Structure 1
Amino acid sequence: MTWIALYFAAGALVGFLAGLLGIGGGMTLVPVLASLFTAQHFAPDHVVHLALGTGMASIVFTSSASVRAHHRLGGVDWSLVRRVGPAMVIGTLLSTALSAWVPQRALALAFSAIVYAGATQILIGRKPSAARTLPGTPALVAIGLVIGVVCGLVSAGGAFLTVPFMLFCGVAMTTAIGTGAALGVPVAVMGTLGYVFSGWNVAGLPPLAVGFVHGPALAGIVAGSVLTAPMGARAAHRLPVGILRRVFACLLYVLATKMLWTYL
């Protein structure tokens, strides 16, 4: 019961951040889950894999709750989702399907490097410029494919990359947040399938794990996140997010450093 309570608390925090900033929450959860799984003495060689898979699965529910709230507030550009989403899905499925063959240390290093880069971009993010516009569909597809590969690698819905990109291209902040959350849903679905597939025949995983997705952890996280994601979405449309964005970037720095300290 204690572990479920900790999963619930982590989910509640991530759910609010998901609604507020459009993130799926997988990146934030991975170091937390890795620490909790290590404390429970789960498969030592696959702790990061389990954290990545479970974090990715949680995004399906967290982002869905966030998207519903943002859609009601008019904050989702569905035409952009249709142009970028399929390419992100393909990239995510490719990288997650191969995750079991990537050493745990390499995953930890890649996770930390990408999170550092994403946090820096969020930290220095500038206000939307009316002079910038989104590129054409071919360029958006190529960008979506690359982002999808990164998403699968670090168990993320991609908002830590898509939101700064949309802001750079002049998309309004609230629209970028809502659209980033919407892009994260199909990516998370396919990424979860990839982690289930890659961990299906791995020996020594904990009970109630489906591939690299740990069922009890997922249940606790989802229970907490679906309650708080709508609250975060409403706050994003009512409050200035500049300070909170910087706080979140600092949090990412801390989490990435913790991952490096633990596994390198």
Structure 2
Amino acid sequence: MSIELLLVLLLVGVFVGILAGLLGIGGGLLVVPSLMFILPYAGISEKIVIQLALATSLATIIVTSASSAFNHFKLGNVDFYAVKWLMPGVVVGGFLGATLAEWIPNQYLPKVFGVIVFFLAIKMYLSIHSQAKRAMPGAVMTTLWGSGIGIVSSLAGIGGGSLSVPFLNRHGVEMRQAVGSSSVCGLVIALSGMIGFILHGFSVAGLPKYSIGYVYLPALFAIASTSMLTTRIGAKLAVRLSTSTLKKVFSIFLMLVSTSMLLH
């Protein structure tokens, strides 16, 4: 990989870290489309680019979500009931999502990703002025929701913030706590999903040098090295901004990402 591409990946990491702290996402919504664009310039076959992008994205999320979760924990932005019962589901779902990514044809994966994110963007935007809340489901239902969040998130190479933040906020968790709790769950989803992609990638021919399964280490280290330094900035911004402003930023960001993936 050239110096120019490494510099671009370092810059991607800067924005990933800020978004992780600000929105409670692991950064996959930015990492996946970025890697899909950048990796072919590193001489990597387009036949495996989507899997490498998803797996490497999940690996970077382990770093960014851990840093973001730590910062939000210090700020008191974690709902421990939600995290406790979402956790078992996201562990199982994260691994299953990586398995499904092997079964779905490559050309459809970006479209699936784009449709899901587009739906989430619309739903979050419509909720900006809505005060309607629902009670948090019981332990079993919350765990089942966690499974669904884990499957879709791993399948899309994201930490689950685009799913868990709207879910938590809709069920009465204040927006900042939804963001912080999402960071904790995102760490677990990313770890589970990454393990799945590594195991599935071991038997694949034609992977680039310095890969572990589908995880491409040069991209991982470049993005992680800068993103872990900037999550604190995003976490502090999340405290200062109003709930409605956070929702607007979140929905606009999701809309832009979904559009780019649907047009890919």
5+ long unaligned stretches in structure 1: none
Residue 19 of structure 1 corresponds to: 21
Structure-1 separation of matches of 2:133 and 2:249: 28
Contact 1:12–1:225, Cα closer than 8 Å, also in 2: yes
1:129 CA displacement: 4.7
> Structure 1 residue aligned with 2:107, among 105, 126, 129?
105
**How far does the alpha carbon of each residue in 1:151-192 deviate from its partner, in whole angstroms, 9 at most, with x for none?**
111011111111111111111111111001111111110111
State the secondary structure of the residue aligned to 2:92: helix
1:224 and 2:230 equivalent? Answer: no
Shift of 1:27: 1.9
What aligned pairs does 1:6-155 form with structure 2 within 5 A after superposition? Answer: 6-126=8-128, 129=131, 132-155=134-157
Shift of 1:72: 0.4
| Distance (Å, rounded) in 2 between the aligned partners of 1:219 and 1:109 | 28
CA distance in 2 between counterparts of 1:180 and 1:2 reads: 33
| Structure 2 unmatched ranges of 5 or more | none
Contact kept? 2:128, 2:248, Cα under 8 Å: no
Closer, same or farther: CA 127–175 of 1 in aligned 2, 3 Å: farther
Question: Which TM-score applies when normalising by structure 2?
Answer: 0.93
For 2:222 and 2:113, locate their aligned partners in 1 and report how far apart those are by CA, in whole Å. Answer: 24
Determine if contact 2:24/2:179 at 8 Å carries over to the other structure: yes
Partner of 2:182: 180
SS of residue in 1 equivalent to 2:240: coil
SS of the equivalent of 1:84 reads helix
Deviations 1:127-159 (A, max 9, x none): 685863201111111111111111111011111
In structure 1, give the amino acid aligned to 2:175: M
Indicate the larger mover: 251-260 or 209-218: 251-260
Quick one: percent identity of the two aligned structures? Answer: 36
Question: Is the CA contact 1:98–1:198 (under 8 Å) kept in the aligned structure 2?
Answer: no
Q: Which moved more, 1:59-68 or 1:192-201?
A: 192-201
Cα distance between partner residues in 1 of 2:70 and 2:210: 30
Q: How many residues align?
A: 262
Counterpart of 2:4 in structure 1 is 2
Give the letter for the 1:85 counterpart. M
Aligned match of 1:194: 196
Distance 1:160 1:69 in 2: 19
